[in-house]
Each structure stands twice: as C-alpha cells, then as structure tokens.
Structure 1
Amino acid sequence: MIIALFPNINKQLSKDLAIDIREFLNSQNITVVAEDEKAQVIGAIPLSEIDLTTISFMISMGGDGSILKLVHKYAHLDIPILGINLGHLGFMADVPISDLYPSLQDLIKGCFQLHKRVVIEGKSTSHKGCFAVNDIVVHRGSNRCLVKIAIHIDGVYLNTFEADGIIIATPNGSTAYSLSAGGPIISPDLEALVLTPICPHTISNCPIVLPANQKIQIEYLSNYDPIEIHADGLNYYELKKSEIFEITRSKKNFKLVSLPRRDYFSTLRTKLGWSGKLR
C-alpha cells in the first residue's frame, strides 16, 4: 500500500507529526510518499519518483481548507482523502490528534467507509470553467450596491435576485458559507444542491434546495462593473453584464474517507455547539 502524506512543514507541529506518522506507517509495511520539497524533510519518497495512480490514500494534515486545496491541486487524480485535523474541528478533516493512531489502524485494516460526495462544475463563454467541492459563489465584487442576478433552472426562469450575490453549494458545502448566509444543512450523502441568496433586498427570497442533476444558469443583469465568481474560495473569475454562467453536477465525485470512530452527526453537534441532550 502507498499513502501520500501532505503536511505543512512550515509549522513545527505538522512537520513533527508527519515524521511520526511516516515512521508508524513504515512500521506497518506501508510506503509513504510526499511532495518533493517535503519528502526529504519527513523521510518519505518523493511523488516525482512514483506513478501517482498507485497511491491508495491521501492524508491531509490541517483543516477543511487544506483538503480543498489538495483536491484542486490534484484534480486529475481519483484518490480518497483522509483529513487529520490540526486546529479547530472540521467537517471533513475530523480526525483529531488524540485519536490519530487508532484511526490510522482502522484505515490500514480497511475499517472505513468511502463517501462519494457531489462535485459541481461551472462555465461561461469567457473562460474554460471550474469545479467546486463546497460551493461556487457569485458576488457583487467591487460594486458598491446590490446587483441583479437572474436564475434559470433547466431553462425555466426561477427568479431575479437583487442581492450581494448567490451561493450554489453542494451538501458538503452546505455547512460552509451557505450556512452563514442562512442556508440549510444538507446531509452530505444526498444528491442535491442549495441555492442561497447573499443579503437579498427582499426578505422573502429564501434558500432553495434542488436536485443535483438540474442545470443552473446565472445571468448578470446590472449595468455595473463585472461581478466575481469564486470556486471553493480558490479560483476566481469575472462575469460581465448579460453573460451567462452555467453550473452542473460534475461526473466526478469527491472521495472522503470516513472512519467508524467518527460520524457526521457527532461532528455537526460539536462544530456547531449544539447543547441538546437525550432525555
């Protein structure tokens, strides 16, 4: 088995822990690889020396943002990711340091589930397109006032929102920016998308949940500066007046390793600080 380790070697905790993880995995007869500039530091084999398609798992060390960066950097690979959390509890990076080695044992033994989560793609006539694991955000950008954005679903007119923007989130991203903007939490295993207006002028403009296979067309109507499109907060594009941006469900999935020692709902309760108790 080959496991790719992705630490932040500029942070002492991450670097030291990566060395310990590499030693532990090597003791279990597992080959550990890392990006070339990090491999020598932690004693792993450089990625450039192997066929990347032979990697069984990627281990991200950081938070949910680290996982998103990893997915985008290696978008051409279809490898499951396990997230080790080195900061605040994450929804994706949910393995704490305190439970690290029992979790790695579960991974090695095959005691895990593989969740294939929805990924979305966006494109317009002016750029080649993008994809997102969490969300695609259409925002007013440098404009100082609300902008008008028309939405069509499978070619059928839905509404024109006068707002700061629109968030189109996957179930995985429903607990990110969309939640902060008043959107619902969607179970990550559902095939759905949520469209959430950002600060709409009309308070009756509520979030709407849609089937993931429906095509969402976004048209910018205001006579202002171009607005901004952000995919997972990593890729940036501009959308000009009358230009249409189209969002569809991607053919690819994001594969996240889920261990029996953790579950989504316990992470949800802890992350959101829910205090309800069984009676």
Structure 2
Amino acid sequence: MSADRIHFIASHSDNAQDALQQLTERYGQFSPDEADVIVALGGDGFMLRTLHRLLPADRPVYGMKLGNVGFLMNRFRQDGLIERLETANTVELAPLCMVAATEAGGEARALAINEVSLLRQMNQAAHIRIEINGSVKVPELVCDGVLVATAAGSTAYNLSAHGPILPLGTDALALTPISPFRPRRWRGAVLPSSARIRFEILDPYKRPVSATADAQEVRNVVSVEVFEEKDIRLKLMFDPDHSLEERILDEQFL
C-alpha cells in the first residue's frame, strides 16, 4: 500500500511526545482524512483509544510501542518507517456492540474492540441470567462479573479471568465468568461470532451492576445485549515478523 501521507498521534507521555515531534519533522504530518495510514505512538490502552476516536476516518492504524504494554504495537524505530508501512500486514477486526438498558429507563450504546464486561458495583455478588440467541443458558450466575471478549481481546482481561485464548480468524467470542460462585462447574464458553448474548441483572437494586465496553462504563444496568458489529472493520497493521496472529499463538505457550 502507499504510505507517503502519515498522520501521527501520540500519548501524553514524555517519550511519546518527543517521538511525535521527531517523526513529524522527518516524515511530515497530514490530517486523518488526508492520510494513507495513522501511526499511533504509545501502549495498548492508547491504541484502543485511537481506534475508537478515529473510527470515522476508516484508515489503517500502525502502532509503535512507547508505553507499558504493547501487545497491539510494533517495535519503535524511526528509521525506514515508510518501507515498514508499505510491507506491513493488515489485520481486520470487527468490534463488539454493547446495548445497555439502565434502571432509569435509558439506553446506552458503545463499541468494544477488546471486551464488554459486567461487574458488581457493591460488596454483594451479582446475580445475572445469560441468554444466547434468545435461549436461557445460565438461569442464574452468581459472580463478581462476566465478560465477552473478541479474539484480539482474549489475551487481555479475559485471560486474567482464566478465559480461553482465541486465535485470529476463528470467528469466535469468549464468554467468561469473573470469580464465579454458582454454577460451581461452569467456567465459560466459546461462542460463534454470530451469537447474540443477553445479560439480565437479577435484583439490580440490591445487587447493582455496571457494564463497560473497553473504557466506556454504564452504571446501574438492568440488561445488556452484546453482538459483533460486522458492518464495521478496524484495520491494524503489523510488521511481517511481528504479527498479531503469531503473538496470540505464542501466548498459549507462556
């Protein structure tokens, strides 16, 4: 692909801001609408915020690690950036759509690239009913929470909650309970990406629950629907020797 026009964006850290200044002086700076590619400088959290913020621009994003975590990032190097961009592999990801209904009667929608998670807001465990495609699969999950993760997000919060790692291209989602108490033997499920998942909060006044799509939180929810938004495609670029697919595979052997 052509990569002559680049839009650089950086986190607020000092090293990322220094790199931003040096790279823009060397390669120029174009607006997101004019650019062929967006280069994000930071860590994984900043990459997620960049993807959300620049979603309307519909441009591929190439990240370079200048933060604490860089699973979605390439190694930082100033030299040969145009050549790296032109030879990079592009991975397309579909985000999750969260539709949350609140106690106050409102509705909130948000997209998630990594996961949608439900968490108890107080000291009492949450009681949650889980439906898949309109059929009740877990009548009452007693837990600290539950999440739905994409393949790209399966190595993040999902992995910490002992959920499965999903290789890219599997067209699957991970449904993972967080500190489950009952049912005692249920440890989650791997669902087809076409599944529509509905969570109903049981006794939401006594046991309030919040729902979060990546970093966007909605509190005091009574029900949450989650499904893959197939009409939206996010494009991430990786060096051929540093592919996301290979890193997801490697995580299963650590």
Same-fold status (TM-score > 0.5): yes
Which structure has more RCO (C-alpha within 8 Å, separation ≥ 6)? 2
Q: Residue 105 in 1 paired to residue 83 in 2?
A: yes
Whole-Å separation in 1 of the counterparts to 2:116 and 2:78 = 32
Q: Secondary structure at the match of 2:235?
A: strand
The Cα offsets for residues 6-65 of structure 1, whole Å up to 9 and x where unpaired, read as 123x43322222222223324xxxxx13xxxxxxxxxxxxx4xxxx43321111111010
Q: CA deviation at 1:265?
A: 5.8
1:80-108 alpha-carbon deviations (Å, 9 max, x no partner): 11111013452111x222x443454221x
Letter in 2 for 1:137: S
Task: Please say which of residues 248-257 and 223-232 is displaced more in the overlay.
Answer: 223-232
C-alpha distance in structure 1 between counterparts of 2:206 and 2:135, whole Å: 25
Q: Which runs of 5+ in 1 are unaligned?
A: 27-31, 34-46, 275-279
Q: Render the CA deviation track for 1:133-180: whole Å, top value 9, x for unaligned.
A: 000110001x21211111101001110211001011111110110100
Distance 2:41 2:246 in 1: 21
The answer as to 2:85 corresponding to 1:85 is no
Which of these residues, 45, 70, 85, is aligned with residue 50 of structure 2?
A: 70
Q: 2:166·2:248 contact (CA, 8 Å) conserved in 1?
A: no
Q: Distance in 2 between matches of 1:14 and 1:225?
A: 42
In terms of mean alpha carbon deviation, does 52-61 or 63-72 score higher? 52-61
Counterpart residue identity of residue 100, structure 2: S
Cα separation, 1, equivalents of 2:34 and 2:51? 17
C-alpha spacing 1:55/1:82, structure 2 compared with 1 (3 Å): same
Match of 2:209 in 1: 227
Q: What secondary structure sits across from 2:233 in the alignment?
A: strand
Equivalent residue of 1:178, what SS? helix
Q: Which of 100, 114, 137 is residue 90 of structure 2 equivalent to?
A: 114
Cα distance in 2 between the residues matched to 1:205 and 1:102:
50
When Rg is computed on C-alpha atoms for both structures, the one with the higher figure is: 1
Which of 98, 107, 124 is the equivalent residue of 1:145?
124
TM superposition score normalised by structure 2: 0.87
* Structure 2 residue aligned with 1:124: 100
2:35 pairs with 38, 48, 55, which one?
55
Deviates more, 1:154-163 or 1:258-267: 258-267
Supply the AA of the counterpart residue of 1:12: D
Find the aligned partners of 2:65 and 2:253 in 1 and give their Cα distance: 18
Partner residue of 2:15 out of 10, 13, 16: 13
Looking at structure 2, the residues matched to 172 and 235 of structure 1 have their Cα atoms a distance apart, in angstroms, of 18
TM-score, normalised via structure 1 length: 0.80
* Count of residues in Structure 1 that have an aligned counterpart in Structure 2: 243
Q: Which has the higher helix share?
A: 1
Structure 1 residues 213, 239: CA separation in 2 closer, same or farther (over 3 Å shift)?
A: farther
Task: Name the amino acid aligned to 1:16.
Answer: D
Q: Select which of 154, 163, 188 maps to 1:183.
A: 163
CA contact (8 A) 2:146 2:175 kept: yes
1:201 aligned residue: 181
Q: 1:22 & 1:15 partners in 2: Cα distance?
A: 11
Match of 1:158 in 2: 137
Distance 1:272 1:7 in 2: 31
> Percent of pairs identical after alignment?
24
Structure 1 position 248 matched with structure 2 position 227: yes
State the partner residue of 1:29: none
Q: What letter matches 1:13 in structure 2?
A: N
Change (3 A) 1:74 1:273: same
Give, in angstroms, the shift of residue 114 of structure 1: 1.2
Paired letter, 1:221: L
CA gap 1:187/1:102 in 2 versus in 1, 3 angstroms? farther
Distance between the aligned counterparts of 2:26 and 2:249, measured in 1? 31
Taking the aligned partners of 1:146 and 1:23, their CA distance within structure 2 comes to: 53
